[in-house]
Structure 1
Amino acid sequence: MAITYPRAERAAQARTAAVQLAADGIDGVVFGWVDNAGLTRVKSVPLTQLAHAAEYGVGAAPCFDVSLVDDSFTVAPSSTGPVGDLRLVPDLDRLVALAAQPGWAWAPADRYAQDGTPHPGCQRGFARRVTEAIERRGLSVKAGIEVEWVVADSAGAPATLAPAYGMTRFIEHSDYLREVLRALTDQGLTVLQLHPEYAAGQFEVSIAAEGPVEAADTTMLVRHTIRAVSARHSLRVSYAPVFTEGSLGNGSHLHLSLWRQGRNLAHGGPGRHGLHPDAEQFLAGALAELPALLALGAPSVASYLRLVPSRFAGAYRCWGLENREAALRLITGSAAGQANAEFKCFDAAANPYLVVGGVLAAGLAGLKSGLPLPPETPSDPAALGPAALGPAERLPTSLPEAIDAYEKSALLRQALGPELYEAVLAVRQAEVELFSGHTDADVIEAVRWRY
């Protein structure tokens, strides 16, 4: 039986929210969703229309299910081209005034059919469904996604060439970073770290862990906020997988931990490095599915210019304690609540809802099958000879290789559902064709300012 959202309740919630937003000087509200190419699409309404939008949604063309990074379109079995309409329904629990965009508020949106039933291609809905399946097993997940970005000047060059992690870089952009920090905090986010990163002009921010869907929402809010603050400082921002050819790229590392009744199952257990059995099986399931998951988490042709050995990108399917070259890095932390696993092979070209939903679906399969983790890789896998690699293996080195693994994944086909699975596949295949015959430099240039 189809499930519809509670229209009257949402309208009432919106009317209450609108009163406070008006008092705060808000004139309009932006509703955002992320397409299968990883681009954020939006519609906005004046504040006076918020209640109507919460009750009935705002129209959005379904053709964006098959939109590409260059704004062209492909086709999938369920796509209807220019025909039809969907409704964007804002999640008012995440409604927030945008600190760096005076007069505007923002909320992530779910996509519904016009009759109020969930759109099967809604990526946020997919992440929610998998989260609920884990919760039905008496488990919960805390997640966080690192945000890395390159700051560039008006000419498009990195805005600083100061040393990686260096105080000089921090000083050069101290006022800018302070405004980023203040804007994120004013929006109710808990910032854990903010620092210069490795590549020229690169910075990183980490936000406190929360539920999987909420973590994906927060990631988008953080990216929007950084971009808005940057514009106020006459700076440009790129979240693209690679900004400069041959350099380290922008990762979007997913951190997560599995919990049961208030206990972190990545700490204090009988398994390796304190893992409880459920946590080990969950991580084993995700690790086993990583080649196919790259079609979700490293979705661009440019992603594979970042995902190379010895660049802290996690180019090998293996795991290890504090191993920054393993795709799955286990982190014990300094306290029980801080222990978590980090998936390093994903980047910001990805739709974060697809990433968290895909990883959780693979982890859930590991739980159901009781899958054990393979032997640990305790050193840089790139430095090991073939005979010493053991269970470690190179992850796909190109988008076509990841697509091949994705097409062989019955797990992801079932978890995503036929409409979303086929739309993702169509977009990936079309982008391979889009960049066919292009040099690495061409690809980098083409996507540098799209993300």
Structure 2
Amino acid sequence: MSSAAADTRLPRAERAALARLATDRLRTAAVDAVAIGWVDNAGLARVKAVPVGGLVHAASWGVGAAPCFDAFLVDDSTAGPVAEPAADTAGPAAPPAGSGVVGDLRLYPDLDRLVPLAAQPGWAWAPADRYTQQDAPHPGCQRLFARRAEAAARSRGLSVRAGIEVEWVAALAGPPEEEPRYPTAGPAYGLQRLTDLSDYLRDVLRALEQQGLNVLQIHPEYAPGQFEVSVAPEGPVAAADTSVLVRHTVRAVSARHGLRASFAPAVEPGGVGNGSHLHLSLWRDGRNLGHGGPGPHGLTGEAEAFLAGVLAALPELLVLGTPSPAGYLRLVPSRWAGAYRCWGLENREAALRLVTGSEGERADAANAEIKCFDGAANPYLAAGAVLAAGLAGIDEGLHLPPETTVDPARLAPGTVARLPADLSEALAAYERSAVLREAMGEPLYRAVLAVRRAESALFAGRAAEEIIAATRWRY
């Protein structure tokens, strides 16, 4: 997959015309301001906002945003230059040129995803693509990377349907340093928990549906105060957009109920934490390639090769899907986190879970779930990298290894490989990945490398309690 970024925007005059129509609709809906957002390499959603009357100019000429955000860490410090191993002759892994105090980028709102925010009256939101002041695609833009990956699949006649589960912990509002206090003592998956917070969950559902999202289910999860919501699958970039919107909506509804929401990978020491499982299915000419084929459990050859590519690349994919040191407090065996690099039909301990669906719906429902990703991930980076790894698997004609049909933790040591146990181990795999380096392009690849190395150093030697306290309310 080429890392070259193509400009797929409409001409400026057409963008302005569409923005004028959108502005009229927003004014009719009593919207006063538009939040234009992106997600940085630390996995944090950042924003610039304009009054509704400024939307036409924003769509035409963009909104300024410093490139330094490419180097931001989870604590809002920035990554500095990091030396490459001696074997690499490409130079230091510094943040991209212009990511310091000098330079500027432009945020262009995607008007196709512009939506009034149901839980924030007077506000609308749109995700942004980032361009340079010379009107060229910014090579460090994570959303444009995901767009390229989706386009690479389309160029082969393939389409991908994706969905990202959103898990969060709801706690009573309080200062950041305060330990979580939960609004319900209901049991895991318990009806009591739903009863205790029925008004809150109803308002989450209402807000999501008013924003045009097709909610599939919402339910209590395992950890204290934990819930999950799933929405219908869509294209990979759209699914990433939706995951950002869902999380923002949950936060807004939570604030209205005197609560705060944490999407962090680890919320309490020893707890299961919040996953961000990525579901995806591969399609060609309207046919789900995860069904009706000669491979394992009905996989076609293309689908098997795609999933084999993803499975093979999981160690390096963790740098994008499990990016924080906090994530490795969650990624442990026998907690349904997918800590082993294996696959299996409905195996919730496998990092790659095959889901066929029930008899009669498999032609539409068959998909695969990546369980080892968590709530610290930038969804555009995660989705784009998974597509790149899967397409590489097709190119190489890979096959899945033997299926794991039990909890891999019960097998003899070494039977199934563990995924990296910490971020530094995952980084070593990432640095060896020619596939990700090529797909992401050098500026984005190096920016991620610099941020991950800096965060690894930031939390080195710190106890689990300290890591959790420092990240609990950042995601």
TM-score range, shorter chain: over 0.9
**In structure 2, what is the equivalent of residue 338 of structure 1?**
365
User: Per-residue deviation at 1:159?
Assistant: 2.4
**In structure 2, what is the equivalent of residue 88 of structure 1?**
107
**In structure 2, what is the equivalent of residue 393 of structure 1?**
417
Q: Deviations over 1:126-145 (max 9, x none)?
A: 00001101111111000000
**In structure 1, what is the equivalent of residue 90 of structure 2?**
none
TM-score, normalised relative to structure 2: 0.93
**In structure 1, what is the equivalent of residue 55 of structure 2?**
50
User: Per-residue deviation at 1:78?
Assistant: 2.3
After superposition, where does 1:39-78 map in structure 2 within 5 Å?
A: 39-75=44-80, 76-78=94-96
Q: Secondary structure at the match of 2:389?
A: helix
User: Comparing 75-84 with 94-103, which one deviates more in the overlay?
Assistant: 75-84
User: Per-residue deviation at 1:154?
Assistant: 2.2
Q: Secondary structure at the match of 2:208?
A: helix
User: Per-residue deviation at 1:437?
Assistant: 2.1
**In structure 2, what is the equivalent of residue 408 of structure 1?**
432
Any conservation in 2 of the 1:265–1:275 contact (CA below 8 Å)?
A: yes
Any conservation in 1 of the 2:167–2:229 contact (CA below 8 Å)?
A: yes
Q: Secondary structure at the match of 1:121?
A: coil
Q: Distance in 1 between matches of 2:97 and 2:69?
A: 9
Mapped pair 1:370 → 2:397: yes
User: Per-residue deviation at 1:14?
Assistant: 0.5
Q: Secondary structure at the match of 1:386?
A: coil
Any conservation in 1 of the 2:172–2:181 contact (CA below 8 Å)?
A: yes
After superposition, where does 1:39-438 map in structure 2 within 5 Å?
A: 39-75=44-80, 76-80=94-98, 81-155=100-174, 156-334=180-358, 335=361, 336-386=363-413, 389=415, 392-438=416-462
Q: Secondary structure at the match of 1:141?
A: strand
Q: Which amino acid aligns with 2:366?
A: A
Any conservation in 1 of the 2:70–2:95 contact (CA below 8 Å)?
A: no
Q: Distance in 2 between matches of 1:8 and 1:333?
A: 46
CA RMSD of aligned residues (A): 1.0
Q: Which amino acid aligns with 2:375?
A: A
Q: Which amino acid aligns with 1:311?
A: R
Query: Hey, which bits of structure 1, 4+ residues long, moved more than 4 A?
Result: 1-4
User: Per-residue deviation at 1:167?
Assistant: 0.3
Q: Which amino acid aligns with 1:78?
A: P
Runs of 5+ unmatched residues, structure 2: 81-93, 175-179
Q: Distance in 1 between matches of 2:95 and 2:62?
A: 26
**In structure 1, what is the equivalent of residue 16 of structure 2?**
11
| Matched length | 448
User: Per-residue deviation at 1:119?
Assistant: 0.1
Q: Distance in 1 between matches of 2:385 and 2:69?
A: 20
The change in CA–CA distance for 1:205 and 1:2 in structure 2 (over 3 A counts) is closer
User: Per-residue deviation at 1:306?
Assistant: 0.3
Q: Deviations over 1:189-218 (max 9, x none)?
A: 000010000000000000000000000000
TM-score, normalised relative to structure 1: 0.98
Any conservation in 1 of the 2:79–2:95 contact (CA below 8 Å)?
A: no
Any conservation in 2 of the 1:396–1:402 contact (CA below 8 Å)?
A: yes
Q: Which amino acid aligns with 1:135?
A: R
**In structure 2, what is the equivalent of residue 26 of structure 1?**
31
Q: Secondary structure at the match of 2:398?
A: coil
**In structure 1, what is the equivalent of residue 177 of structure 2?**
none
Q: Distance in 2 between matches of 1:133 and 1:342?
A: 21
Q: Deviations over 1:316-374 (max 9, x none)?
A: 00000000000000000121211100000000101000000000000000011110111
Q: Which amino acid aligns with 2:386?
A: V
Q: Secondary structure at the match of 1:258?
A: strand
Q: Distance in 1 between matches of 2:97 and 2:172?
A: 40
The change in CA–CA distance for 1:23 and 1:291 in structure 2 (over 3 A counts) is same
The change in CA–CA distance for 1:235 and 1:2 in structure 2 (over 3 A counts) is closer
Any conservation in 1 of the 2:420–2:426 contact (CA below 8 Å)?
A: yes
User: Per-residue deviation at 1:185?
Assistant: 0.3
Any conservation in 1 of the 2:5–2:148 contact (CA below 8 Å)?
A: no
User: Per-residue deviation at 1:269?
Assistant: 1.1
